[in-house]
Structure 1
Amino acid sequence: MPAPDADKVLLGQFGAAHGIRGEIKLHSYTEEPLGIADYGPFTLDDGRVIEITSVRIQGENVIARVEGIGDRDAAETLRNRKLFVGRDALPELEEEDDFYHADLVGLTLELADGTPYGTIASVQNFGAGDLIEIEPAPGARTFYLPFTRAIVPTVDIKSGKAVVVPPPETEARPEDGEDEA
């Protein structure tokens, strides 16, 4: 599967087919979930180019129709595909502390004193706010911290770095086999 280039930004991911007429669930990463339809055409992570013709909310899901997809079997070919758009299709960010998730991934993290802390592997939101997934060293087990100003007070996209202030509970963990007090 081709890797997206730096000029592409992930805006969503398809889920399962919905019904028999070609509709499909869509996980939208845009601020307003239905706003994803305002972008496109989209390049999928398998290289296909698609156009979303309509979106609607049903319960807690976004349901999409895609041009040329007319039945359940065709919709299933889109399952789990990621939707990318060119960075130039996105509006300029107005606030100094607003970031596209794609710009945060790969940033080097440092403590306030300059000590290396890891890199941002991904940005996730499981419903309670943005979390950064941190890879402390290449191949090491990752962990999450909240992406808040208190935890990540400084982000410098141009230099490729961010400062992290880990919460106290993440700093001193007993080693395996040691007794906790």
Structure 2
Amino acid sequence: MKRPAKGRVLLGRFGAPHGVRGEIRLQSFTSDPLAIASYDGLTDKSGARHFRLRAVRPQGKDMLVAQVEGVDDRAGAEALNRVELYVARDKLPAPEEDEFYIADLIGLRAETADGVEIGTIVAVRNFGAGDILEIAPAGQGESLLVPFTKSMVPTVDVQGGRVVVEPPAEIEADREEKDA
């Protein structure tokens, strides 16, 4: 996932046109994919363009087909290809206990269980096998990519502004060998 637009949460992304009457494929990131149609105030990343979904229906396992208000032909649908849909963060319900929005992770401090700072979360990526935290190191160097699993990231403290990262024993052993 890309860095979120300030004050907005990414809910979906338009894909290729579907047919010639303006329908378009839509990838939804909401827990119930069809729920994306119920959100008012969908915008592009800049907040300048507003979208209203007239209807959505499932197509296959991971995709929807949407009818967008004001889009009535293939050319209009093609113009929306790859446009991301955002909603203002304050329009979303508060997360349940032990839940959070992915967008809330951006900017959190990543540290070890001992409180040693690793860096700052700059993105949450997903290449198909699960979410990965991209952490810009506290010092210089390349970003670290950490699988976002309970075993690797046992603590997420959004209010405290931090996550705890516990690398597997193999990585710790490699670090100790290099430090010796």
Matches within 5 A, 1:43-82: 43-46=43-46, 47-60=48-61, 61-82=63-84
Q: What amino acid is the match of 2:43?
A: T
Contact persistence 2:117–2:138 (CA under 8 A) = no
Match in the other structure for 1:19 = 19
Contact persistence 2:23–2:74 (CA under 8 A) = yes
1:129 is aligned to 2:136:
no
* Distance of 1:166 and 1:132 partners within structure 2: 13
* Distance of 1:42 and 1:48 partners within structure 2: 8
Give the deviation of 1:163 after TM superposition. 1.0
Q: What amino acid is the match of 2:28?
A: S
Q: 3-state DSSP class of the match of 1:102? A: helix
CA RMSD of aligned residues (A): 2.3
Match in the other structure for 2:36 = 36
The two structures have a TM-score, normalised by structure 1, of 0.83
Cα–Cα, structure 1 residues 73 and 139, in superposed 2: closer, same or farther, change >3 Å? Answer: farther
Structure 1, gaps ≥5 residues long: 176-181
The two structures have a TM-score, normalised by structure 2, of 0.83
Give the deviation of 1:133 after TM superposition. 2.3
Deviation digits for residues 81-127 of structure 1 (CA, Å, limit 9, x no counterpart): 11111122212222x22110110112110111222212222223344
Give the deviation of 1:20 after TM superposition. 1.1
Cα–Cα, structure 1 residues 24 and 151, in superposed 2: closer, same or farther, change >3 Å? Answer: same
Deviation digits for residues 35-88 of structure 1 (CA, Å, limit 9, x no counterpart): 111112201124201101111111232111110001111111111111111122
Instruction: Give runs of ≥4 in structure 1 deviating > 6 Å.
Output: none
Match in the other structure for 1:114 = 115
* Distance of 2:81 and 2:139 partners within structure 1: 30
Matches within 5 A, 1:77-116: 77-94=79-96, 96-116=97-117
Contact persistence 1:41–1:52 (CA under 8 A) = no
* Distance of 1:124 and 1:54 partners within structure 2: 28
Give the deviation of 1:139 after TM superposition. 7.5
Q: Which deviates further from its counterpart, 122-131 or 25-34?
A: 122-131
Q: Which deviates further from its counterpart, 133-142 or 119-128?
A: 133-142
Q: Which deviates further from its counterpart, 38-47 or 106-115?
A: 38-47
Give the deviation of 1:25 after TM superposition. 1.2
Cα–Cα, structure 1 residues 15 and 140, in superposed 2: closer, same or farther, change >3 Å? Answer: farther
Number of aligned residues: 171
Match in the other structure for 1:178 = none
Give the deviation of 1:136 after TM superposition. 2.4
Relative contact order higher in (CA < 8 Å, ≥ 6 apart): 2
